[in-house]
Structure 1
């Protein structure tokens, strides 16, 4: 009898931890949603809605720039980092919450191509295009997919610290990460232990993303980062990241077919997406692409080198106009 009780103790403990985590996850998600409600118009597409943040003039604008954010983020990240600067310079700026992130519905879209399809539909509904598309990090892959699959919607690309090329085969995750990323396990963790653990590591993760620069003042609040702690967004982020290698393998052979102005911007001190592994080789693959190397700058280019980035994006306007 005693042995049976002892044998069952780990299961009871595991159940209790999951139950406590589930309650904590509900509270974390509720607090994030209440603190950062939708702050821009929605665009209804088949199966749901995409959330946007918009800034700048709707008429008489110098051009329209669409912002696509990276992993563990939402539309506020690029909008506050670079979007407000572009809007102040006379651009109309539209930042999308990618499907499953921020306040956008998931829409069954977990790959760069499928998310690009949903954004292209939204642009058509908004009667926008061709537009300059700026994608940061994971968003760079989505921006490339948008240009490849919907060229009528894109006049130029600005790829900022982009993740776009296949990863080396030797880059494999430890077994416990591979287990945690399995859909049933990831779903369970995203609704139990995931949000509390992510909340605990939130500040450190943000600081690491900004290195070697210091984290921008009030970054977590201005970029509405806690929205990524909600269970649905957490699970969507895992799906996006785990599906990215195969997606890049599929779209990588097509980069040489791009025939539009492409700007690739990356910091040479980026510890997350190294310029010699991604931005540099990518610029060589795309005909006519221009690589802007930022000495000493890390991954968060839109926040720490916003003026330089805005200047480079503005330079795309006359080039895009002549290539239409």
Structure 2
């Protein structure tokens, strides 16, 4: 009798958890719907937001881990849309982007997908900017598809191997057995405010700009498949960078590297400085006291780096 009661209670709790997870996901997708259009590349739908005049130089913006297009569309993309035709992508499996295959897309696979999506939108050789994890994708684009970009901008980008362990939550969510069990629990029971707190910590020592947390779509991050895909991507990142970083000397396009000295998420000395030393002609801009989100906390410096990269590539941003 006790065992039967226990099993019934467990089944009821599981059913409640799945119901709450579906409700949470539906609410998040209704509150933060796609902002742009969809491009299909080899059967995979890519979400893209396009801003700016069609005759301006093309600029692709790639967001970091757990993020989506809204990180870039909050202030950076609109600020650049007069000088460039800006294309902001959701990386596969995040935001409103469809995942590649069974998930865990590598940085090289993501670079290939986004490059082809950009080409379908008429951007054959854009300036490519990547932030954080997106910086690794931008580097993979520059290394593996060197004829398909004009210049590279890395903003707090992950570039070199590191020796810290994978955080426990990523270990659990990326696990083939534990992940499917843990994700619904998090989706159902973790409030959006938890993600908002985590995002605020990533900005440290700065604060998020006013209105950022309500714009960026924190609820999208807590969807079951998004949690798992982000974790799988993050779990594979170190090995992928280990395979890629020995090829940075092959990058021939102009490269601008922007990194905050107070960044404790992707360290300046581990990533940006060695990258600047290895990419021929790269320029490193160190931002004193700035944390992991320079494209918001020091947007003027990031915009200046983008303009320098474009000018070095022989492009002419509009006034």
TM-score by length of 1: 0.90
Please give the alpha-carbon distance, in whole angstroms, between the structure 2 residues aligned to 1:70 and 1:308: 19
Shift of 1:265: 0.4
User: SS where residue 293 of structure 1 aligns?
Assistant: strand
C-alpha separation between the residues in 2 aligned to 1:40 and 1:179?
33
Q: 1:249 to 1:198 in 2, by over 3 A?
A: farther
Indicate how the Cα distance of structure 1 residues 201 and 149 shifts in structure 2: closer, same or farther if over 3 A, else same: same
Residue equivalent to 1:66: 60
Equivalent of 2:24 in 3, 23, 28? 28
Shift in Å, 1:95: 0.3
Q: Which of 152, 155, 170 pairs up with 1:157?
A: 152
Measured after TM superposition, the shift of residue 143 of structure 1 is 0.4
Q: Distance in 2 between matches of 1:195 and 1:160?
A: 33
Distance 1:85 1:176, change over 3 A: closer
Could you tell me which residue of structure 2 aligns to residue 46 of structure 1? 42
- Is 1:295 matched up with 2:288? yes
Q: CA 1:20/1:114 → structure 2, altered by over 3 Å: closer, same or farther?
A: same
Partner of 2:130 in structure 1?
Answer: 135
Please list the CA deviations of residues 243-295 of structure 1 after superposition, one character each: whole Å capped at 9, or x if unmatched. Answer: 11111111111111111111110110112111111111211121111110000
- Report how far residue 34 of structure 1 moved: 0.5
Distance 1:17 1:295, change over 3 A: farther
Contact 2:49/2:89, CA 8 A, preserved across alignment: yes
Question: In the TM superposition, what whole-angstrom CA distance separates every residue of 1:55-75 from its partner, at most 9, and x where no partner exists?
Answer: 11112x1x1110000011101
Q: 8 Å contact 2:170–2:234 — kept in the other structure?
A: no
User: What secondary structure, in the 3-state scheme, does the structure 2 residue paired with 1:269 have?
Assistant: coil
Structure 2, unmatched stretches of 5+, are none
Matched ranges for 1:1-324 at <5 A? 9=6, 15-59=11-55, 61=56, 63-88=57-82, 90-108=83-101, 110-168=105-163, 171-173=164-166, 178-194=171-187, 196-197=189-190, 199-321=192-314
| C-alpha distance in structure 1 between counterparts of 2:257 and 2:223, whole Å | 32
- Root-mean-square deviation over aligned CA pairs: 2.1
Assess if the C-alpha contact under 8 Å between 2:192 and 2:218 holds in 1: no
- Deviation at 1:216? 1.2
Separation in 1, partners of 2:60, 2:48: 10
Using the TM superposition, give the Cα deviation of residue 102 of structure 1 relative to its aligned residue in structure 2, in angstroms: 1.2
CA displacement at 1:200 relative to structure 2: 4.7
Residue 156 of structure 2 contacts residue 292 of structure 2 at CA under 8 Å; is this kept in 1? yes
Q: Does structure 2 conserve the Cα–Cα contact (< 8 Å) formed by 1:24 and 1:192?
A: no
- CA change 1:176–1:80 in 2 (3 A) is closer
Q: How big is the shift at 1:198? A: 6.1
